[in-house]
């Protein structure tokens, strides 16, 4: 009997590559037919599976205790805050994500939000007739004599840094987990988060979501932003306290905000005031997407899963030692 693999979270146009790769390797691929939030249904469906491909499904000790045949899990994407790595290691389950696949698309999206925010492009379109030939806001500024701050200098933050260096006078970066050599290589000045917030005209967030970074940008941190910056978040929604963000926008502490990610996804109706604020540009968590990135994501996810099931350790493995 063939060993089974499940795709628990769908949403892609096709799983042709996954099916061809895994079937040729002797596995049977099955796609969960239930609803997104049917946790118990997903657990039942996974009980006889050796491997899982997931997106948003929460993998914790309860889930892993109910799936004794499971050997490997891959998350389609970079973030992995929905997977308990410690529990996976206890249950001898290898976990991988797909690191860096969207480094160009996310950094492009962040840059697009920077320009759109600086020049108030969405508001300019809305007020075109009644405000024709006049800027929609008075604080339209150029980047060439300004400072960009990058929070998180990993793969995506590093690519962003390379792209924006010719655009800004100075690039600051804060990341306590990155070696000093990487800052030097990328040409970013290493500073503390507090200094970055105080000295940046544009701030772009590219850190992982962890206990340490949840709520990292709150009212206290925003009030350190002396230069009334543009704030961009294409990382994870909970890095920003959204209640504090809206309050500080209303009080004029920020020039404008670009959000591709939110604490609740999609955002709930309690965020309508934030989403419709004239100084906010909001997109629906698609910064990761480009035609190239989507293909790479699915291919590498399937490749990583097969390698782990065959006893190997991919570069993207998050818990390589049990």
Q: Which of 19, 182, 285, 296 is catalytic?
A: 285
Q: Answer whether 209's CB lies under 8 Å from 236's CB.
A: yes
Q: Which residue has the tokens 């797909």?
A: 98
**In the structure, how many helices (H) and strands (E) does the chain have?**
13, 12
How far apart CA 214 and CA 38 sit, in angstroms, is: 26
**Burial track 80-110 (b if 16+ CB lie within 10 A, e otherwise):** bebbbeebbbebebbbbbbbbbbbbbbbbbb
- Do the Cβ atoms of 118 and 96 come closer than 8 Å? no
Q: Which of 62, 194, 212, 265 is catalytic?
A: 265
Contact 146, 201 (CB under 8 A): yes
189: its two tokens: 């000045």
Does the active-site annotation cover 265?
yes
Q: Rounded to an integer, what is the distance from CA 201 to the centroid of its chain?
A: 22
Catalytic residue among 75, 91, 206, 236: 236
Give the length of the chain: 322
What is the torsion angle, in degrees rounded to the nearest 10, for the CA atoms of residue 82, residue 222, residue 176 and residue 199? Answer: 150
Q: State the Cα–Cα distance between residues 179 and 202, nearest whole angstrom.
A: 23
Q: Is 227 a catalytic residue?
A: no
Is there a catalytic annotation at residue 285? yes
Burial of 136 (0-12, 13-18, 19+ CB in 10 A): middle
Dihedral sign computed on CA atoms, order 260, 222, 164, 161 = negative
Tokens of 259: 């959000």
Tokens of 250: 């209303």
Could you give the residue numbers annotated as active site? Answer: 236, 265, 285
């Amino acid at each position: 009997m063939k060993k089974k693999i499940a795709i628990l979270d769908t949403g892609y146009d096709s799983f042709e590559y996954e099916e061809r790769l895994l079937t040729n390797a002797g596995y049977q691929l099955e796609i969960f037919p239930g609803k997104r939030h049917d946790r118990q249904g997903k657990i039942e469906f996974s009980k006889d599976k050796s491997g899982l491909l997931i997106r948003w499904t929460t993998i914790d000790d309860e889930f892993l205790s109910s799936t004794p045949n499971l050997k490997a899990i891959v998350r389609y994407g970079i973030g992995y805050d929905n997977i308990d790595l410690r529990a996976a290691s206890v249950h001898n389950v290898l976990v991988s994500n797909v690191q860096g696949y969207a480094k160009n698309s996310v950094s492009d999206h962040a840059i697009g939000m920077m320009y759109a925010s600086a020049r108030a492009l969405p508001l300019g379109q809305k007020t075109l007739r009644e405000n024709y030939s006049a800027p929609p806001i008075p604080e339209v500024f150029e980047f060439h004599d300004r400072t960009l701050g990058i929070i998180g200098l990993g793969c995506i933050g590093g690519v962003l840094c390379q792209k924006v260096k010719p655009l800004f006078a100075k690039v600051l970066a804060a990341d306590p987990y990155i070696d000093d050599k990487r800052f030097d290589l990328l040409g970013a000045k290493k500073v503390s988060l507090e200094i970055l917030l105080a000295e940046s005209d544009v701030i772009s967030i590219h850190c992982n979501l962890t206990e340490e970074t949840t709520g990292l940008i709150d009212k206290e941190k925003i009030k350190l932003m002396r230069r009334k910056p543009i704030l961009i978040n294409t990382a994870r929604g909970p890095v920003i306290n959204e209640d504090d963000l809206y309050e500080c926008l209303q009080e004029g502490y920020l020039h404008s905000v670009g959000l591709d990610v939110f604490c609740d996804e999609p955002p709930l109706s309690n965020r309508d005031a934030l989403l419709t604020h004239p100084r906010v540009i909001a997109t629906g968590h698609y910064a990761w997407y480009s035609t190239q990135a989507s293909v790479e994501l699915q291919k590498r996810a399937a490749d990583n899963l097969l390698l782990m099931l065959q006893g190997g350790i991919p570069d993207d493995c998050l818990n390589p030692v049990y």
